[in-house]
Structure 1
Amino acid sequence: MTNANPNPLLEVDNLHVTFTTHGGTVQAVRGVSLSLKPGETLAIVGESGCGKSVTARSLMRLLPEHSSRITGGSIRFKGRELTALNERQMRELRGSEISMIFQDAMTALNPTISIGEQIMEGIVRHRKVSRSEARKQAIEILKLVGIPNPEARLKQYLHEFSGGMRQRIMIAIAVVCEPSVLIADEPTTALDVTIQAQIIELFKKLQERTGVSIIIITHDLGVVAKIADRVNVMYAGQVVESGTVDELFQHPQHPYTQGLLGSMPRLDMEKDVPLTPIPGTPPDLFAPPKGCAFAARCPYAMKVCGAYPPEPVSVSASHTAACWLQDERAQNVFQPPIKINIKSALG
């Protein structure tokens, strides 16, 4: 649920991130810009390897120092430039102002320390309270995320919880200090559909209670339709389309967005209608193409697409697409986009 406050809480402008490897330099994020308002949920979607998680980790400065580098751009949180902060200053922000839920609880949580200790660690560090008070707050947050018998559960270890419970523990650790921004990286991956629905409802409950702004990273468009206010579609390290969830599902303007929607099973499809996968593979980011990164896979590609990168064009006040098909000279070759009624298609 978005807040009436029009001022962004988080602003990213023209972010560039590279990785140095034995094979060369990977241009993982290439000019990403996004904004997040108070109380808003922003979804970042795209294929694996498109730069979603790297963008998210860049916001918290959690990329490996020895191999990665922010080579350009700005990250502003509440007007404060995060790229200029040192590690000590970032540690003060992590957990208290910006928190992250990582993809895999089994690797993100410590299996040798009790769940209670891991939750209490952030409370003691950021809220400067006694351990007895931290324990009370840990019990309350476990109740909030729906873990039964929290007093006993505090003493247990990671292997004693199911996959869905582990995800709830990750959420509890991330929100216990009531951050302003919560970044959820593939929070429903590898969970069955029933648990996925419960996790989505938990996010909504937390947002209603605390007003937290959420960035959710996913490739599951069903999750996006249920929780997001706005969507950024990423491809090859760039945002190729951005708009409200209704605009992107009902009026997608970039061929890549149309391809994602066309390959998604929907309730309103005839049972014998095959899904349409996107042909080809993403480009090599060791040497990105000089034109549109999607040109080699695009059914509407023109000569200009391979020669020059398209600039984002405003389709409406809240909807942009970086595609040469938006140029007025290309209107006669543009095909009407598919339209999806979100509620009827995704249930």
Structure 2
Amino acid sequence: MKEKKSEPILDVADLYVSFQTRNGEVQAVRGVNFTLNKGETLAIVGESGCGKSVTAQSIMRLIPEPPGKIKQGSIKLKGNDLTTYTEKQMRKVRGSDIGMIFQDPMTSLNPVLTIGEQISESLLKNPNLTKSEVEEKVIKILKLVGIANPKERLKQYPHQFSGGMRQRIMIAMALVNEPQVLIADEPTTALDVTIQAQIIDLFKDIQKRTGIAIILITHDLGLVAQIADRINVMYAGRVIESGQVKEIFYHPQHPYTKGLLKSVPRLNDDRNQPLIPIHGTPPDLLSPPKGCPFAKRCDYAMDVCIQYDPESTQVTKNHSVRCWLQDERAKKIQFPSDGPKIKLL
């Protein structure tokens, strides 16, 4: 695994994000902490509604206020706290310092503008660039993301491209200003496995060429195994386990993480062996439980899990987990075999 620089580009500390609704306050993100280093890929995984996308949107300050609000915490980009920035200041950060790829490329692209117009929009605001220089940069970025005949294709509209090509266009839009951080929110959703592999190879190639740091938001653990350096497992608005990719895949410590890994189909599994789902549903974040949020779905829950929220425990230098089973006073649990592992690349 490649070495990373010690000083992080991005530092998210004690982040709380809530939404006011008719029924009350939805506590979507509750005390999230993580760092991101140059050239590193951090995957944030978990079930739908766990707070992955809200965390990403908060970094970009795209949470509509109201009803949303960053209630507490800091988001430091190269030491500057983005939570204190005005909207005018954030416009300079978006695209130039942090790029973002949204989930659905067809709905994210404007159907009545050519892709050349859409990719060049942010570049045209730069008074130091002429129109010919802007076009040159657009052609260069289209080549980088693997679109053939870029000079001709920049005059075409989104409907003239396949799903995989539209996703490449979204990547081009996110990279055209050469940001240091790229947030990819479910970048391969609705793409077939062949195109997914091409997009992942594209991310690896771009990262190798530019040294960009990537935050990958996904529920696809197979995807994570191919590209991530570190993993944050989120549940009910919190990071409940964090570590290097090998630590999470080969030595998971939280019952929820173990459950996620057991629910993934593998080619080397016995075909007669059914997948093991995680029973139940996540808690209602209008009224989060006072104890461990996973307790009611956990086969190993103790009385303390219901009553008290677990603190973070360091398993190794880079591996931490929020689970009472890691407490030295807890009864030692013999977990059943996790079965064949997902192959890491």
Q: Verify same fold: TM over 0.5.
A: yes
**Gaps spanning 5+ residues in structure 1: where?**
none
The residue number in structure 2 matching 1:97 is: 97
The residue number in structure 2 matching 1:295 is: 295
SS in 2 for 1:55: helix
The residue number in structure 2 matching 1:121 is: 121
The residue number in structure 2 matching 1:178 is: 178
1:24 matched to 2:16? The reply is no
- Return closer, same or farther for 1:14/1:38 CA change in 2, 3 Å cut-off: same
Q: 1:98 corresponds to which letter in structure 2?
A: I
The residue number in structure 2 matching 1:40 is: 40
1:239-267 Cα offsets, whole Å, 9 max, x none, are: 00000110000000000000000000012
Q: 2:299 corresponds to which letter in structure 1?
A: P
Distance in 2 between residues matched to 1:31 and 1:111, nearest whole Å: 39
SS in 1 for 2:329: helix
CA contact (8 A) 1:251 1:337 kept: no
Shift of 1:219: 0.3
Shift of 1:334: 4.9
1:327 matched to 2:327? The reply is yes
Distance in 2 between residues matched to 1:32 and 1:128, nearest whole Å: 39
CA contact (8 A) 2:180 2:213 kept: yes
1:232 matched to 2:227? The reply is no
Range with bigger deviation, 327-336 or 57-66: 327-336
SS in 2 for 1:233: strand
Distance in 2 between residues matched to 1:63 and 1:215, nearest whole Å: 18
Shift of 1:105: 1.0
Distance in 1 between residues matched to 2:132 and 2:67, nearest whole Å: 41
The residue number in structure 2 matching 1:309 is: 309
CA contact (8 A) 1:97 1:179 kept: yes
CA contact (8 A) 1:225 1:342 kept: yes
CA contact (8 A) 2:11 2:35 kept: yes
The residue number in structure 2 matching 1:140 is: 140
Moved over 3 A (4+): 1-4, 339-342
The percentage of aligned residue pairs carrying the same residue is 63
CA contact (8 A) 1:252 1:338 kept: no
Distance in 2 between residues matched to 1:142 and 1:156, nearest whole Å: 13
Range with bigger deviation, 123-132 or 257-266: 123-132
Distance in 1 between residues matched to 2:239 and 2:186, nearest whole Å: 18
CA contact (8 A) 2:4 2:40 kept: no
Distance in 2 between residues matched to 1:69 and 1:13, nearest whole Å: 16
SS in 1 for 2:119: helix
SS in 2 for 1:333: coil
Q: 2:203 corresponds to which letter in structure 1?
A: F
CA contact (8 A) 1:252 1:337 kept: no
The residue number in structure 2 matching 1:62 is: 62
Shift of 1:337: 6.4
CA contact (8 A) 1:3 1:38 kept: no
Distance in 2 between residues matched to 1:249 and 1:88, nearest whole Å: 42
Q: 1:159 corresponds to which letter in structure 2?
A: H
TM-score (norm 2): 0.97
Distance in 1 between residues matched to 2:26 and 2:334, nearest whole Å: 33
CA contact (8 A) 1:251 1:339 kept: no
CA contact (8 A) 1:53 1:185 kept: yes
1:223 matched to 2:223? The reply is yes
1:133-162 Cα offsets, whole Å, 9 max, x none, are: 101110111111111111111111111111
Q: 1:62 corresponds to which letter in structure 2?
A: L
CA contact (8 A) 1:249 1:341 kept: yes
Distance in 2 between residues matched to 1:7 and 1:334, nearest whole Å: 38
Distance in 1 between residues matched to 2:21 and 2:190, nearest whole Å: 30
Distance in 2 between residues matched to 1:307 and 1:340, nearest whole Å: 35
Shift of 1:339: 6.3
1:72 matched to 2:72? The reply is yes
SS in 1 for 2:320: strand
1:195-217 Cα offsets, whole Å, 9 max, x none, are: 00000000000000100000000
Distance in 1 between residues matched to 2:123 and 2:317, nearest whole Å: 41
Distance in 1 between residues matched to 2:285 and 2:12, nearest whole Å: 21
Q: 2:139 corresponds to which letter in structure 1?
A: I
- Return closer, same or farther for 1:25/1:337 CA change in 2, 3 Å cut-off: farther
CA contact (8 A) 1:126 1:177 kept: no
CA contact (8 A) 1:2 1:41 kept: no
SS in 1 for 2:137: helix
The residue number in structure 1 matching 2:208 is: 208
Shift of 1:341: 3.8
CA contact (8 A) 2:188 2:199 kept: yes
SS in 1 for 2:293: coil
- Return closer, same or farther for 1:92/1:169 CA change in 2, 3 Å cut-off: same
- Return closer, same or farther for 1:58/1:215 CA change in 2, 3 Å cut-off: same
SS in 1 for 2:18: strand
Distance in 1 between residues matched to 2:168 and 2:280, nearest whole Å: 37
Shift of 1:54: 0.2
Distance in 1 between residues matched to 2:258 and 2:264, nearest whole Å: 10
TM-score (norm 1): 0.97
Count how many residue pairs are aligned between Structure 1 and Structure 2: 345
